[in-house]
Structure 1
Amino acid sequence: MFTAITHSQIYVLDQDEALDFYVGKLGLEVNADVDLGFMRWLTVNVPGHPERQILLEKPGPPALSEETAGQVRELLTKGATGGHLIFSTEDCRKTYEALLALGVEFTEEPTERPYGIDCGLRDPFGNSIRFTQPKG
């Protein structure tokens, strides 16, 4: 059967703005940035971990009709739909402070949980992001 999850996908409204956020602020690295003609295949990953990539996809053909893509863009802009990403970190509070200094806006400050310390934010498109410092 399956051996790994290699790609996850989230919708973004502007792939260049997504690069600025995910690479410039969150510190991920570009894995692939390829013009396929019908779409731009843009993936990022945690540095040193190319086995798990995030596809930063603009809603549109070939996956969606233009009508459906418009509906997805509208919902995404409202924060009513979107992807969810969860990252791990060795020091949640230190990561929070570093990202705060870069202008990242948070929806939740670092909070103690039964499983560790985590916090939440949204990307510029409404996708939910959390990062966790697991108990250990």
Structure 2
Amino acid sequence: MDITIFQAMLPHDDPQASLGFYRDALGFELRNDVEYGGMHWLTLGPANQPGTSIVLYPPQASGLTDDEQRTVAEMMAKGTFASINLATTDVDGAFERLQASDAEVVQEPTDQPYGVRDCAFRDPAGNLIRIQQAR
């Protein structure tokens, strides 16, 4: 069986702020920018991985009830709704670049007991972005 990771979905509530974070701070390329029905989706990914993308979607597009949308919005505001782990060969360099972009720092680079060095940020929607470097 040949299965690969194609897309990961993360919610966003501000397309311009999200684009600034993922394109300008992380260095991802913009692959798709879609507005439909008053909603805005962005697809971005690393240039060296054209087959793998992050899709930033408006949470109201997922068919949630008004109560569920309020819950998701509250969780996003607290940074507890969604997360993704990324990898790099230079976590300290990635940390410096993101810190210089005024991204919200959650954790400075740290050697973890489970064998990685990592750091963490929140994107503009509150999603936890953890960046790891294998030792």
TM-score category, normalised to shorter length: 0.7 to 0.9
Aligned to 1:69: 69
Aligned to 1:96: 95
**What TM-score, normalized to structure 1?**
0.86
RMSD: 1.9
- Is structure 2 residue 111 aligned with structure 1 residue 112? yes
List runs of 5+ in structure 2 lacking aligned partners.
Answer: none
**What TM-score, normalized to structure 2?**
0.86
Aligned to 1:13: 13
Aligned to 1:122: 122
Amino acid at match of 2:57: E
Q: What is the total number of aligned residue pairs between the two structures?
A: 134
List runs of 5+ in structure 1 lacking aligned partners.
Answer: none
Give, in whole Å, the separation in 1 of the partners of 2:2 and 2:36: 27
In structure 2, relative to structure 1, the CA distance for the partners of 1:62 and 1:86 (3 Å cut) is closer
Give, in whole Å, the separation in 1 of the partners of 2:110 and 2:89: 15
Give the secondary-structure state (helix, strand or coil) at the position aligned to 2:61.
coil
Residues 38 and 61, structure 1, Cα contact 8 Å, conserved in 2: no
% identical aligned pairs: 34
